[in-house]
């Protein structure tokens, strides 16, 4: 029993809190250190001044050597020339002459503060000039004039040598003087250093003395009571609970601690330890249960054990029945070359621990046994632990762990429990793998057996036929035998015939045996062809997967550069050129969507699609779907309902990304084929069947439906229910194929119910838990990722500044530098150009080591990082960036063609862009970087509503813009004639001159600035086509429109178009026979209309447009002067064939030239077009020169 002997401690000491006492002590220490730091700074400044003086003297001595070397170079060059008479020997003379003047000037500047050296330096220059004029120049002149006698006499006089010797003497004097100055300055520097060392020693002794005093005081007032209470706490932890706790009456923290000891007991500590152990074992079990291979099991086991127990490295050995050895199958932080060999049972610590079935602990490892390396250094662990994984009847594996320090009791308990748990999971995994192998073998044997049965069945049929023939022959022989009994002669004759028949029978038997061998050979050939067919299918899928990625690589630059042209960043493009670039960009995006569909389908076929199993929240899934498709429903004036059953489980284990992709495909189809009514998504539980316990996601629509005879093939690739030429919906026919493949990949299925005109219902049935695929996605072509290599201590190679910094850029300012790490040089330059357009200083590195070096040196505002880099991949670069305190805070955005966004997010990436990237994606990355200053833009608002003008001005008040406003088209014409504006925000419904008239008159007067239409009126297709000549940005006034308008204006303000740059005009070259003619272009695709119209206008033609057959006939009726028609065949409503027929039914259009245009180019298309009434036929893609020739020929015939 311990009594409270400290109850009588001083009341003042008990009242003053520990925080106050420590604060007072630290304040005094800080004051002491502040004074010491000030004194040290003064001393350091003196040392730096002395060091700078010493460096100056050394620089003077170096420059003296340079001057004297130039003198010697002149003398050597002159001597060589005089001896050889060759001009090239004068090169050292000329070089030394120029170097002397340069070095002498620099030396004079360096010695300006030394009055003793200046006269000597002047003497050197005088002697040098005298040597040149009196000896060198004169000698060379004599040499060139072939006056060898005078030249020899001058050289023998020794005049040149005496001058050079004089220079050498002067230099010796200068060296002695400067060496003396250097010695004085060095002594002065040493004195300053000595004073600094004495000051540091004094400060150190004073600081230590005061700290020791504070420590003594703290020990008296804090440490001793705390030590006493700590001792009591240990006894409490040991179970001795009947103790009297002292210091409870104190009013300070010691008293609070003493009173707290009365409350807490060992149970909480023991409970915490048990909870920790259970949690870690649960995490380990979860990690191991999802493994699909023994190698993955080994990697995860070693990683988890090291992370939890504090081990610095580890290796897992699995038992291999073949060689009867323990082979390495996974490691963590293991240096290269270590732990790579296999061990037999009883061999080494690994084998002995497996034989004994007991863990082994080895301490005091010998020097050089094992080095654990990091970026900062290397060290030898202090101990090893070898843990056998004991199965039911044998040891399944061994784990070897290395520690810098002995693990605690909790970690030791964890290792003991984890060994048994890991053995159980490993045994389960091996059985699962064995079961899978047996299933594969059984399936293969089943297929072989079926093939053998078919072959045997065919052989039995042939044998049966042969036996029937033999029985017939036997009956014939019996009849012949009866006849032979009547006559011996006949018997002999027939005996001979029987022998011949037997011989024939033997020949037929041999032939039958040959047929059997031929059948067996044919069966073997069929099996080989089946294998070849399977390989061809796999090669096709792998080719599609790889080729899709190869196509995505050039799309990177195509999409970004075409988007830049469409934005008219330089302001030097016409409206048609801008629209052309926009069409290129849209076509590229459509091509990318098609490539993505092909890629998804080929990934599934090639077995490269990965399933990432996670908890999928069904409520969040439903909310996301409704949020994404609500705008689509409103745009198409349809209803959208999303319903969840009340008894639906909260989550399922599946791949949420692929579920979203399936639903997006189904809902997109539903909206595309529905014109009235709506679309409904129901999420229901499944209570029976093989998906019992899972969920069913059913998409129902009130659309056109699918005929029963076409339901069976809608899930086939490139198949559509509507495949005729009067197609209204488009598409590639890949969507439902991908849906079916993804559903099967998730362990589910897709069912469809539909009838023509009654809508469709697609049901996706998913299990409650999806099993992850065993094989991860293979890296795509062009993005192969090398395996991670152990960290090395070598310094990274720094890229040259000429490569890293873009030429012509100003010196970097904080937050204005962007680092691009990309091995594709062309794509890296595109990204650098976009960065420069946003006024960033772009640094480019083409490998990981160079990128790390630039990141440390320049600390950029952000990093764009590719994954597939040479030598060091993007993941390793990311790890090094995060581990370095200098670069850890820099936001990193990955750019890659691989599907690795979840891994990138887990690694700490700020963003992830999948190749090919769109310009908007890169712009959004730049938007997250520090903003850069931009010049103010001028905006003119043209709107008759003061309230709308005020609303727009209020939205733009935070932007760096100058805003003017007018209320009519006439005022706008006057204002734009007087002032230059960068952007017009135009309402179409103006009083007097409306918006269309304003655009026509303003464009006729000169180039228009950028235009954003902000109008309250609904636009027809014809009005939209008219506006496309001036702008592509049209915002209708509605509830969400102010934000849309703000987005469009913000996009303009962030562009880099030069103010006032007039767009270039497209040159027009008239084509003979076509100039001034009118042509009607009929096509349902506005991109095709625009591209073709632009090409035709450039050849002097007047172009009219129509988007279907009905409008084409209306255009012909309204414009009888039309000379020729270009007719697309595949259009909605009335297709090209029907339109041509109706045109030919009119008498006035019987001779009107018509050229049919189609993208199908199939056999018989030309004949069908000519039969319908077309004069000529042209297939897409259109050769404009060929089309022009056809038009010239037809119009010439007409004339």
pLDDT tens for 616-674 read 889 888 888 888 888 888 888 899 999 999 889 989 999 888 898 899 889 988 888 88
pLDDT at 352 over 70: yes
pLDDT at 730 over 80: no
Report the pLDDT value the prediction gives residue 488, as an integer from 0 to 100.
59
State the DSSP code for 262: T
Distance CA 657, CA 7 (A): 68
Which tens digit of pLDDT belongs to each residue from 359-383? 889 888 888 788 888 878 888 888 8
pLDDT confidence tier of residue 401, bands split at 50, 70 and 90: very high
Distance CA 359, CA 219 (A): 44
Choose the weakest-confidence range: 461-465, 823-827, 865-869, 930-934. 930-934
Residues 1133 and 729: beta-carbon distance below 8 Å: no
Distance CA 438, CA 307 (A): 36
Report the pLDDT value the prediction gives residue 792, as an integer from 0 to 100.
32
Distance CA 821, CA 819 (A): 7
pLDDT at 733 over 70: no
Residues 719 and 713: beta-carbon distance below 8 Å: yes
Tokens describing residue 373: 């390396």
Report the pLDDT value the prediction gives residue 277, as an integer from 0 to 100.
86
Share in percent of the chain as helix, strand, coil (round to 5):
55, 15, 30
Tell me whether the omega of the peptide bond preceding residue 141 falls within 30 degrees of 0, making it cis: no
Distance CA 1127, CA 1139 (A): 8
pLDDT at 11 over 50: no
Q: Which is more confidently placed, 255 or 825?
A: 825
Q: Which is more confidently placed, 86 or 761?
A: 761
Q: Give the closest residue to 631 by CA, choosing from 596, 597, 671, 659.
A: 671
Distance CA 162, CA 155 (A): 11
Tokens describing residue 216: 């003594």
Tokens describing residue 274: 């048990």
Tokens describing residue 90: 């004068």
Report the pLDDT value the prediction gives residue 375, as an integer from 0 to 100.
79
Distance CA 865, CA 818 (A): 11
Q: Give the closest residue to 295 by CA, choosing from 397, 218, 210, 205.
A: 397
pLDDT at 127 over 60: yes
Distance CA 900, CA 596 (A): 16
Whole-number percent of the chain with pLDDT over 90: 10
Residues 568 and 705: beta-carbon distance below 8 Å: no
Residue linked to tokens 């579920």: 659
On the CB side of 759, CA atoms within 13 Å amount to 16
| 61 membership: H or E segment, kind and range | helix 18-84
Q: How crowded is residue 921: how many other Cβ atoms within 10 Å of its Cβ?
A: 17
pLDDT at 934 over 90: no
Tell me the backbone φ, ψ of residue 323, rounded to 5 degrees: -80, -5
Of these ranges, 35-39, 212-216, 1105-1109, the one predicted with the greatest mean pLDDT is: 1105-1109
The counts of H helices and E strands in the chain are: 34, 29
Q: Which long-range contacts (CB under 8 A, 24 or more apart) does 719-723 make?
A: none
Mean pLDDT of 441-445: 83
549 contact partners, CB below 8 Å, separation of at least 6: 599, 780, 781, 782, 783, 897
Mean pLDDT of 185-195: 78
Distance CA 1153, CA 1188 (A): 13
Rg of the Cα atoms in the chain: 46
Residues 762 and 686: beta-carbon distance below 8 Å: no
Using DSSP bridges, classify how beta strands 313-320 and 395-403 pair: parallel, antiparallel or unpaired. antiparallel
Report the pLDDT value the prediction gives residue 871, as an integer from 0 to 100.
78
pLDDT at 36 over 60: yes
Report the pLDDT value the prediction gives residue 495, as an integer from 0 to 100.
58
Choose the weakest-confidence range: 513-517, 535-539, 809-813, 891-895. 809-813
Report the pLDDT value the prediction gives residue 1098, as an integer from 0 to 100.
76
pLDDT at 158 over 60: yes
Tokens describing residue 962: 């100058």
Residues 130 and 163: beta-carbon distance below 8 Å: yes
Tell me whether the omega of the peptide bond preceding residue 1181 falls within 30 degrees of 0, making it cis: yes
Report the pLDDT value the prediction gives residue 536, as an integer from 0 to 100.
67
Which tens digit of pLDDT belongs to each residue from 1037-1091? 654 456 556 656 655 554 433 333 333 333 444 567 788 889 999 988 776 777 7
pLDDT at 1019 over 80: no
Distance CA 523, CA 514 (A): 14
Q: Which is more confidently placed, 514 or 1161?
A: 514
Residues 1191 and 1124: beta-carbon distance below 8 Å: yes
Q: Measure the N-to-C terminal CA separation of the chain; round to a whole number of Å.
A: 127
pLDDT confidence tier of residue 680, bands split at 50, 70 and 90: very high
236 contact partners, CB below 8 Å, separation of at least 6: 243, 261, 265, 266
Distance CA 208, CA 187 (A): 31
Tokens describing residue 34: 């502040």
pLDDT confidence tier of residue 187, bands split at 50, 70 and 90: confident
Mean pLDDT of 269-298: 84
- Residue 714: helix, strand or coil by DSSP? coil
CA distances from 1064 to 246, 416, 562, 1061, 1067 (A): 93, 79, 17, 9, 9
Residues 805 and 816: beta-carbon distance below 8 Å: no
Tokens describing residue 74: 């002149």
Distance CA 178, CA 23 (A): 56
Q: Which long-range contacts (CB under 8 A, 24 or more apart) does 1052-1056 make?
A: 1052/937, 1052/982, 1052/983, 1052/1010, 1052/1012, 1053/934, 1053/937, 1053/959, 1053/960, 1053/961, 1054/838, 1054/923, 1054/927, 1054/934, 1055/567, 1055/569, 1056/569, 1056/837, 1056/838
Mean pLDDT of 283-294: 88
- Residue 18: helix, strand or coil by DSSP? helix
pLDDT confidence tier of residue 483, bands split at 50, 70 and 90: low
Mean pLDDT of 463-483: 71
Report the pLDDT value the prediction gives residue 339, as an integer from 0 to 100.
62
pLDDT at 56 over 90: no
pLDDT confidence tier of residue 941, bands split at 50, 70 and 90: very high
Tell me the backbone φ, ψ of residue 1156, rounded to 5 degrees: -85, 140
Distance CA 125, CA 136 (A): 15
Distance CA 261, CA 443 (A): 69
Report the pLDDT value the prediction gives residue 721, as an integer from 0 to 100.
52
Distance CA 2, CA 243 (A): 6
pLDDT at 110 over 50: yes
Distance CA 630, CA 1084 (A): 27
């Amino acid at each position: 029993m311990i009594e409270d002997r400290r109850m009588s401690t001083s009341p003042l000491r008990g009242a003053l809190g520990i925080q106050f006492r420590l604060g007072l002590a630290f304040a005094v220490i800080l004051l002491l250190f502040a004074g010491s730091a000030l004194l040290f700074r003064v001393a350091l400044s003196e040392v730096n001044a002395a060091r700078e003086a010493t460096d100056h003297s050394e620089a003077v001595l170096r420059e003296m050597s340079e001057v004297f070397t130039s003198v010697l170079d002149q003398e050597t060059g002159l001597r060589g020339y005089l001896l050889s008479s060759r001009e090239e020997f004068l090169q050292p003379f000329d070089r030394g002459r120029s170097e002397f003047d340069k070095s002498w000037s620099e030396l004079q500047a360096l010695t300006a503060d030394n009055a003793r050296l200046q006269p000597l330096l002047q003497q050197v220059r005088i002697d040098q000039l005298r040597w040149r004029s009196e000896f060198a120049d004169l000698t060379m002149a004599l040499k060139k004039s072939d006056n060898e006698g005078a030249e020899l006499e001058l050289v023998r006089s020794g005049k040149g040598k005496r001058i050079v010797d004089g220079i050498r003497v002067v230099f010796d004097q200068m060296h002695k003087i400067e060496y003396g100055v250097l010695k004085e300055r060095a002594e002065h520097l040493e004195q300053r250093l000595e004073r600094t060392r004495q000051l540091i020693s004094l400060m150190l002794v004073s600081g230590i003395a005061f700290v020791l005093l504070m420590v003594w005081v703290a020990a008296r007032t804090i440490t001793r009571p705390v030590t006493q209470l700590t001792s009591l706490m240990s006894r409490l932890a040991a179970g001795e609970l009947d103790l009297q706790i002292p210091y409870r009456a104190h009013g300070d923290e010691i008293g609070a601690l003493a009173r707290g000891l009365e409350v807490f007991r060992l149970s909480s500590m023991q409970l915490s330890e048990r909870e920790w152990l259970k949690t870690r074992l649960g995490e380990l079990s979860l990690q191991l249960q999802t493994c699909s291979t023994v190698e993955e099991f080994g990697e995860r086991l070693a990683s988890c054990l090291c992370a939890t127990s504090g081990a610095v490295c580890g290796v897992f050995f699995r038992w291999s029945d073949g060689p009867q050895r323990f082979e390495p199958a996974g490691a963590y932080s293991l240096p290269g070359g270590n732990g790579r060999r296999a061990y037999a049972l009883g061999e080494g610590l690994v084998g002995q621990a497996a034989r004994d079935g007991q863990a082994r602990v080895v301490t005091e490892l010998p020097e050089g046994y094992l080095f654990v390396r990091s970026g900062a250094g290397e060290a030898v662990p202090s101990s090893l632990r070898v843990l056998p994984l004991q199965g039911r009847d044998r040891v399944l594996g061994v784990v070897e762990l290395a520690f810098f320090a002995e693990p605690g009791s909790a970690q030791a308990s964890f290792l003991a429990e984890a060994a048994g748990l890991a053995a159980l999971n490993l045994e389960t995994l091996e059985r699962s793998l064995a079961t899978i192998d047996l299933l594969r073998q059984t399936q293969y044997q089943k297929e072989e057996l079926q093939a053998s049965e078919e072959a045997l069945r065919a052989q039995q049929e042939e044998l049966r036929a042969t036996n029937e023939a033999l029985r017939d022959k036997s009956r014939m022989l019996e009849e012949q035998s009866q006849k032979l009994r009547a006559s011996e002669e006949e018997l002999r004759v027939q005996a001979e015939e029987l022998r011949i028949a037997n011989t024939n029978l033997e020949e037929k038997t041999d032939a039958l045996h040959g047929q059997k061998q031929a059948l067996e050979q044919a069966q073997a050939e069929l099996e080989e062809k089946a294998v070849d067919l399977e390989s061809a299918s796999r090669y096709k899928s792998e080719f599609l997967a790889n080729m899709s990625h190869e196509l995505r690589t050039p799309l990177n630059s195509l999409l970004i550069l075409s988007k830049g042209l469409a934005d008219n960043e330089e302001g030097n493009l016409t409206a048609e050129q801008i629209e052309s670039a926009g069409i290129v960009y849209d076509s590229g995006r459509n091509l990318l969507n098609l490539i993505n569909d092909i890629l998804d389908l080929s990934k599934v076929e090639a077995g490269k699609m990965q399933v990432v199993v996670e908890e999928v929240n069904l409520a969040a899934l439903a909310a996301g779907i409704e949020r994404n498709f609500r705008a689509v429903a409103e745009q198409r004036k349809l209803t959208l309902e999303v319903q969840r059953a009340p008894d639906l489980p909260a989550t399922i284990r599946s791949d949420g990304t692929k579920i979203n992709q399936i639903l997006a495909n189904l809902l997109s189809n539903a909206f595309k084929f529905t014109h009235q009514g709506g679309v409904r998504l129901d999420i229901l539980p499944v209570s029976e069947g093989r998906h019992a316990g899972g969920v069913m996601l059913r998409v129902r629509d009130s659309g056109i439906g699918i005929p029963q005879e076409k339901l069976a093939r809608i899930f086939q690739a490139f198949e559509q229910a509507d495949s005729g030429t009067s197609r209204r919906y488009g598409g590639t026919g890949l969507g439902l194929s991908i849906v079916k493949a993804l559903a099967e990949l998730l362990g589910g299925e897709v069912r469809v119910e539909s009838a023509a005109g009654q809508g469709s219902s697609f049901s996706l049935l998913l299990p409650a838990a999806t099993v992850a695929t065993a094989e991860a996605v293979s890296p795509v072509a062009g993005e192969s990722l090398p395996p991670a290599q152990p960290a090395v201590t070598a310094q990274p190679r720094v890229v040259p500044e000429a490569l890293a910094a873009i030429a012509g850029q100003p010196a970097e300012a904080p937050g204005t530098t962007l680092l691009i790490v990309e091995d594709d040089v062309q794509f890296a330059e595109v990204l650098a150009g976009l960065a420069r357009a946003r006024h960033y200083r772009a640094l480019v590195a083409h490998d990981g080591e160079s990128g790390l070096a630039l990141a440390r040196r320049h600390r950029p505002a952000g990093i764009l990082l590719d994954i597939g880099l040479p030598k060091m991949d993007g993941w390793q670069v990311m790890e090094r960036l995060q581990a370095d305190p200098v670069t850890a805070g820099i936001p990193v955005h990955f750019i890659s063609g691989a599907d690795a966004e979840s891994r990138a997010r887990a690694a700490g990436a700020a963003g992830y862009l999948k190749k090919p990237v769109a310009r908007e994606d890169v712009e959004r990355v730049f938007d997250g970087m520090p903003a850069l200053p931009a010049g103010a833009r001028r905006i003119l608002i043209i709107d008759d509503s003061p309230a709308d003008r005020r609303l727009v001005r209020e939205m733009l008040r935070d932007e760096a813009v100058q805003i003017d406003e007018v209320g009519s088209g006439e005022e706008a014409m006057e204002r734009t004639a007087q002032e230059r504006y960068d952007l017009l925000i135009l309402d179409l419904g103006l009083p007097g001159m409306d918006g269309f008239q304003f655009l026509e008159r303003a464009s006729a007067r000169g180039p228009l600035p950028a235009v954003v239409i902000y109008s309250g009126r609904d636009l027809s297709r014809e009005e939209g086509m008219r506006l496309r000549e001036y702008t592509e940005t049209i915002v209708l006034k509605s509830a969400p429109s102010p934000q849309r308008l703000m987005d469009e204006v913000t996009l303009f303000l962030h562009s880099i178009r030069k103010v006032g740059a007039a767009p270039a005009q497209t040159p027009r070259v008239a084509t003979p026979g076509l100039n001034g003619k009118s042509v009607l272009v009929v096509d349902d695709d506005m991109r095709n209309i625009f591209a073709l119209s632009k090409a035709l206008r450039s050849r002097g033609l007047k172009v009219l447009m129509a988007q279907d057959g009905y409008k084409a006939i209306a255009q012909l009726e309204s414009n009888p002067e039309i000379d020729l028609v270009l007719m697309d065949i595949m259009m909605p409503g009335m297709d090209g064939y029907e339109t041509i027929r109706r045109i030919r039914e009119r008498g006035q259009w019987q001779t009107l030239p018509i050229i049919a245009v189609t993208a199908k180019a199939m056999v018989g298309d030309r004949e069908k077009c000519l039969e319908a009434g077309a004069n000529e036929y042209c297939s897409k893609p259109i050769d404009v020169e060929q089309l022009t020739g056809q038009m010239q020929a037809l119009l010439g015939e007409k004339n």
